[in-house]
């Protein structure tokens, strides 16, 4: 017996992102979309682009370069963070036990070489993702993939995985052409094997990527733009100057300090939504003073998140007072575990621990300016507690090696792009989580996270995740600092672009240039 359960999996309860909604809505009313034109876009992450293979891409820059060349089975719904809608899948059904997914594909979808996209390509792609290891764990629950006909894909899971649809919408879980992939010896690092709205024209490494309109795109009339020019500009000053001089149309992510300044220019819009990029102070619970829960709690009370927000983010970020899921997300924790800095409480907790006279510790950090700055403020804020922090900034390869092997005391870093609460919590706070870098372990939390993964009812999941976050915040393997806004700066005439909390640019398919406003 099968029953359509689509609506249950759509997380429609998100209201706080109305800002995006109203923005794209009003621009849609202003004029009819027109075809034509070139859009130049840049982002600090573009310099990290290393490969065009979606199944190997890890760096944000690679993802931005790739995501418009391909389609996925499902995609994030525009302006509704957390919601999923069909992309290549016209519709889908899920059995009641939550294990069997049946997807019906659109017919007549073409790859950029003109061949048709069929269920065989979908099967091939998911198997390739698993073989390429990078995101294999998202599909570790897959039991088998069947293709009863050219336009039907049936995926059977070993056990229910609540965020499975969210995974399928992840832009890098792209459907690639089996034919093109195989004729290139399985190497997609610099070619295009997709069916997306734009096709690869030219990639000059560390300079730019040019995407051209795909005329046979399966949605009639789209995309509107003839060409998208993704430029690598490393320096933030250079980016903002270029936007002011109209050499650019869009800066994907504007840093906090530039938000107000760019907004002063009459032709430039700065649009900002609550983002998904949250930053934290990680405390290694495996060894030394930080293994002591009281010491960690003392640090959590001793940090002044508001001052950090002011000095590092110019009050543009949203302070996190409990777990990592940002306020506004349906699974955010309503309970403020750390409403404000409380030095007296921090000192008392520290006095009760074995480290009443304070201690010395090392904080490792990447050369990311905001995180380096946060580290300096944290160092100053912990000094009154007698905690002497030494800051060590490391190259990314060394840094992630230390983080992954648990060879550190403290760190400041962040995560970005999560949608489902399971993504926010399971891999990071479960005892066996693959990114449990803090070495945190609490059986109660483990149980909650496992339950959350298997439950499909959103109200129940909400309760589970709120409880888990409260416990995690109290145990303090991390001091949650803030969530960054996702702010883009664009020229007035750029319409239909959705500023997405996950930073994805998949809305370029709907983007157009309003020549009358130019």
Which parts of this chain interact with other proteins (CB under 8 A)? 50-51, 58-59, 133-134, 187, 189-190, 204-207, 231-238, 240-242, 245, 247, 257, 261, 307, 310-311, 365, 367, 369, 372-373, 375-377, 379-380, 390-401, 403-405, 413, 415, 434-435
CB of 342 to other proteins, least distance (A): 18
Residue with smaller CB distance to other proteins, 255 or 507: 255
Question: What are 365's strand-pairing partners?
Answer: 393
Per-residue DSSP letters for 143-165?
EEEEEEETTEEEEEESS--TTHH
Considering the complex, what minimum distance in angstroms separates the CB of residue 62 from other proteins? 10
CB 63 → other proteins: shortest distance, Å? Answer: 12
Smallest distance, Å, CB 219 to other proteins? 32
The DSSP annotation for 453-490 comes to HH---HHHHHHHHHHHHHHHHHH-SEEEEEEEEEEEEE
Judged by beta carbon, residue 127 or residue 247, the one nearer other proteins is 247
CB of 420 to other proteins, least distance (A): 17
Kindly give the interhelix angle for 421-429 and 458-475, rounded to the nearest 10 degrees. 40
CB nearer other proteins, residue 187 or residue 457? 187
Rounded to a whole number of angstroms, the minimum distance from the CB of residue 21 to other proteins is: 30
Q: Which is nearer to other proteins, 294 or 379 (CB)?
A: 379
CA distance 213 to 267: 26
- Which lies closer to other proteins via its Cβ, residue 226 or residue 247? 247
Closer CB to other proteins, residue 66 or residue 377? Answer: 377
Between 20 and 63, name the residue whose CB sits nearer to other proteins.
Answer: 63
Question: Which stretches of 175-292 are DSSP H helices?
Answer: 178-183, 236-244, 256-263
Least separation, in Å, of the C-beta of 149 and other proteins? 36
Least separation in angstroms between residue 478's CB and other proteins is 15
Handedness of CA 398, 403, 409, 412 (dihedral sign): positive
Compute the distance between CA of residue 418 and CA of residue 412 in angstroms, rounded to an integer.
18
Would you say 416 or 509 has its CB closer to other proteins?
A: 416
CA dist 396 and 468 (Å) reads 31
Taken in order 423, 425, 428, 432, is the CA torsion positive or negative? Answer: negative
Least Cβ distance, residue 189 to other proteins (angstroms): 5
The radius of gyration of the chain's CA atoms, rounded to the nearest angstrom, is 23
| Closest CB to other proteins among residues 71, 368 | 368
Residue positions counted in the chain? 518
Nearest to 354 by CA among 291, 410, 419, 279: 291
**Cα–Cα distance measured from residue 468 to residue 85, given in angstroms and rounded to the nearest whole number:** 28
Helix-helix angle 443-454:421-429, to 10 degrees: 150
131, two tokens: 């073989």
CB of 172 vs other proteins, minimal distance in Å = 11
**Which residue number, 97 or 187, has a Cβ lying nearer to other proteins?**
187
Distance CA 367, CA 381 (A): 20
Cα separation, 59 vs 46, in Å, equals 9
């Amino acid at each position: 017996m099968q029953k359509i359960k689509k609506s249950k999996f759509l997380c429609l309860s998100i209201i706080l992102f109305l800002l995006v909604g109203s923005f794209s809505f009003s621009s849609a009313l202003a004029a009819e979309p027109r075809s034509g034109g070139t859009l130049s876009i840049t982002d600090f992450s573009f310099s990290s682009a290393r490969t065009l293979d979606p199944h190997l891409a890890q760096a944000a820059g690679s993802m931005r370069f790739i995501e418009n060349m391909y389609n996925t089975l499902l995609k994030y719904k525009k302006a509704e963070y957390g919601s999923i809608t069909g992309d290549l899948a016209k519709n889908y059904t899920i059995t009641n036990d939550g294990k069997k997914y049946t997807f019906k594909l659109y017919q007549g979808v073409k790859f950029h070489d003109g061949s048709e996209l069929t269920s065989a390509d979908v099967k091939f792609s998911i198997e390739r993702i698993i073989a390429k290891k990078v995101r294999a764990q998202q599909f570790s629950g897959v039991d088998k993939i069947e293709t009863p006909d050219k336009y039907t894909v049936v995926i059977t899971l070993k056990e229910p995985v609540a965020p499975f649809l969210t995974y399928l919408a992840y832009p890098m879980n792209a459907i690639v052409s089996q034919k093109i992939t195989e004729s290139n010896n399985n190497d997609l690092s610099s070619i295009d094997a997709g069916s997306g709205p734009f096709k690869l024209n030219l990639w000059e490494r560390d300079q730019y990527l040019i995407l051209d309109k795909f005329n046979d795109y399966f949605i009639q009339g789209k995309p509107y733009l003839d060409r998208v020019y993704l430029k690598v500009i490393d320096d933030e000053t250079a980016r903002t100057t270029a936007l002011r001089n109209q050499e650019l149309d869009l800066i994907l992510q504007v840093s906090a300090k530039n938000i107000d300044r760019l907004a002063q220019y009459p032709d430039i819009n700065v649009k900002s939504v609550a983002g998904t990029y949250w930053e934290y102070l990680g405390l290694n619970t495996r060894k030394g003073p930080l293994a002591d829960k009281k010491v960690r709690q003392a640090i959590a009370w001793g940090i002044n998140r508001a001052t950090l927000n002011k000095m590092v983010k110019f009050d543009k970020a949203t302070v996190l007072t409990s777990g990592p899921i940002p306020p506004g997300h349906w699974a955010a924790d309503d309970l403020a575990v750390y409403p404000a800095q409380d030095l007296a409480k921090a000192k008392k907790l520290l006095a009760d621990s074995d480290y009443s006279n304070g201690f010395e510790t090392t904080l490792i950090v990447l050369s990311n300016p905001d995180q380096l700055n946060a580290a300096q403020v944290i160092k100053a804020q912990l000094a009154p507690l007698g905690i002497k922090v030494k800051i060590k900034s490391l190259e990314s390869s060394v840094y992630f090696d230390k983080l992954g092997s648990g060879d550190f005391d403290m760190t400041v870093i962040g995560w970005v792009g999560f949608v489902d609460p399971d993504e926010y919590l399971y891999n990071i706070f479960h005892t066996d989580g693959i990114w449990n870098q803090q070495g945190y372990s609490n059986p109660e939390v483990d149980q909650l996270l496992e339950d959350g993964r298997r439950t499909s009812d959103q109200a129940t999941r909400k309760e589970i995740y709120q409880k888990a976050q409260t416990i995690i915040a109290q145990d303090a393997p991390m001091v949650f600092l803030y969530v960054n806004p996702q702010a883009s700066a664009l020229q007035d005439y750029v319409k239909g672009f959705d500023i997405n909390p996950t930073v994805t640019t998949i809305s370029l398919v709907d983007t157009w240039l309003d020549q009358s406003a130019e």
